[in-house]
Chain A
């Protein structure tokens, strides 16, 4: 188990994010602490993606404060994110990972070793020299994961990584996430798939219309949801 990771806890204090007239996050307060994976669930447009982007440091808060281990404006050197639709560089799989290693300022002499580790972790060893754009959806997600892990992050954000994948690819991704979480990386994942939430979550954060409706330990949440919206959502009803 690694030592207390930097950048954590990530604290949201009454954070509001507006895009024009639309309020995407509404006076949201949250603490992301070290520990098992935190899974964000909620209907489309509830703010899951925006929350992750703000926590990553890509989007500034319109109001409120975000701090990383008590400090505001920390550059994202120890954080990484896998976007819902990751963009591959027009080069080989290995070159993509090397690019991420270089961007993370990993020492040159360690590149080859890290590359081999990462390829092995995500199961893309046999495709190292294939052009990244020719990979399947699942393979591209795994490559994006490898890129994100290249910088040895303390927090890893995943935005619906298995949304368009088949079950086999989904399992592959979930296995990697589990392995990574076990190594001490704090995983924050947004998902549509309640089954996946059950499989991976330590904590659940349930969002609706830019607010946290309920946040608790996963087992407790699924066993007995406290709020009406949560009950409706778990029952499969549309929340408006």
Chain B
């Protein structure tokens, strides 16, 4: 029994040092690395922006209106937050393939396809969190806003603005999901060198090529970028609090 386990698992794990060359690439502003970072940010931020444009109004609508099947929609929305990325990737792939219904758009293996699939993954997160936020705020503000005889549109906009901090956190959650994602965008993007290769897909590639130090180095760059984005959002919040518009 012991022999079997020793054979199955490596006796010694090689110690992996993050590659100094990855750091060098960052410091010297290597154009390939910059292009990969720009593409990663473009895809994830675009997806979050689109998901916010769709998800926040939709979440607000669910929060503020009563209709038959409302509970079912809420459950569905919460479930879709956990939609497996590879499933979404496969579905979008089949849709956008030249042999598929939307093939004539020629979007497969382009950054646009990556934005589409990530938007699909992020929208439920933002919508579900927006719904919860706005529903809670409505419970708080209902009396005052009704007494002030505010129009339905103004009501929605007011609640969205009042809930802006929670909504920003929802956006960051969405961004986190998008930036970390690799399965869906590899399927619909194709991980094409210089065209649809992002940080996460590059890490997957370097890992499969056995260049683990470079992969780890890229991973750390990715984490640093996500930290920067979150720090930026935090500073924005502090500035907003100070201004208290």
- Asked if chains A and B are in direct contact (CB within 8 A), the reply is yes
A-side residues, CB < 8 A to B, are 56, 58, 75-77, 80-81, 83, 86-87, 89-92, 95, 99-100, 103-104, 129-131, 147, 151
Question: Is the beta-carbon distance between B147 and A76 smaller than 8 angstroms?
Answer: yes
For B140, B141, B147, B244, the residue with the greatest tally of chain A CB atoms inside 10 Å of its CB is B147
Residue among A75, A81, A103 with max Cβ neighbours from chain B (10 Å): A103
| Given A99-B158, A104-B148, 9 more pairs with CB closer than 8 A | A58-B147, A77-B149, A89-B162, A90-B162, A92-B245, A103-B150, A103-B154, A104-B149, A147-B148
Report yes or no: B149 in contact with A58, Cβ–Cβ below 8 A: no
> Which residues of A lie under 8 Å from residue B150 when comparing CB positions?
103
Residue of B nearest to A148 (CB): B147
| Minimum CB distance partner of B140 in chain A | A87
Measured CB to CB, the nearest residue on chain A to B144 is A87
| In the complex, chain B residues whose CB is within 8 Å of the CB of A86 | 144
In contact, B141 and A80 (Cβ under 8 angstroms): no
Q: Which residues of A contact B146 (CB under 8 A)?
A: 58
User: Which one of B140, B241, B244 has the greatest number of beta carbons of chain A within 10 Å?
Assistant: B244
Counting CB contacts under 8 A, is B193 at the interface?
Answer: no
Query: How far, in whole Å, are A95 and B245 apart by their CA atoms in the complex?
Result: 7
User: In the assembled complex, which residues on chain A have CB atoms less than 8 Å from the CB atom of B149?
Assistant: 75-77, 103-104
Q: Which of B129-187 contact A (CB under 8 A)?
A: 140-141, 143-144, 146-150, 154, 158, 162
Please, could you name 17 A-B residue pairs with CB atoms under 8 Å apart, sorted by A? A75-B149, A77-B149, A81-B147, A83-B143, A86-B144, A87-B140, A90-B162, A91-B245, A95-B244, A95-B245, A99-B158, A100-B148, A103-B150, A103-B154, A104-B149, A131-B241, A151-B148
Q: How far is the CA of A86 from the CA of B245 in the complex (A)?
A: 20
Q: Please, how many angstroms separate the alpha-carbon atoms of A151 and B148 in the complex?
A: 9
Question: In whole Å, how far is A154's beta carbon from the nearest beta carbon of chain B?
Answer: 14
Chain B CB within 10 Å, residue with most, of A89, A92, A130: A89
Q: Is the CB of A58 within 8 A of B244?
A: no
Residues of B within 8 A of A151 (CB): 148
* B143: chain A residues within 8 A (beta carbon): 58, 83, 87
Which residues of A are found within 8 Å of B147, using beta-carbon distances?
56, 58, 76, 80-81, 83
Closest to B162 in A: A90
A129→B141 CA distance, assembly (Å): 22
- Which residues on B sit within 8 Å (CB–CB) of A77? 149
Of B140, B149, B154, B158, the most chain A CB neighbours within 10 A belong to B149
Contacts known (A83-B143, A87-B143); A103 close to B245, Cβ less than 8 A: no
Least Cβ–Cβ distance between A142 and chain B, in angstroms = 16
Q: What are the 3 tightest A-B residue pairs by CB atom distance, in nearest-first order?
A: A103-B148, A131-B244, A87-B144
| Cβ contact within 8 Å between A92 and B144 | no
With a CB–CB cut-off of 8 A, which chain B residues contact A90? Answer: 162
A87 touches which of B141, B154, B241, B245 (Cβ 8 Å): B141
Nearest to B150 among chain A residues (CB) is A103
Interchain CA distance A27-B158 in the complex, whole Å: 38
Which residues of chain B are within 8 angstroms of A100 by Cβ–Cβ distance?
148
CB proximity of A86 to chain B, nearest CB, Å: 7
Chain A residue nearest to B163 (CB atoms) is: A90
Contacts of A58 in B (CB 8 A): 143, 146-147
A182 to B231, CA, bound (A): 54
User: What residues of B have a CB within 8 angstroms of the CB of A75 in the complex?
Assistant: 149
Residues of B within 8 A of A103 (CB): 148-150, 154
Neighbour of B244 across the interface among A81, A99, A129, CB < 8 A? A129
Task: Give chain A residues whose Cβ lies under 8 Å from the Cβ of B144.
Answer: 83, 86-87
Q: Which of B140, B148, B154, B244 contacts A91 (CB 8 A)?
A: B244
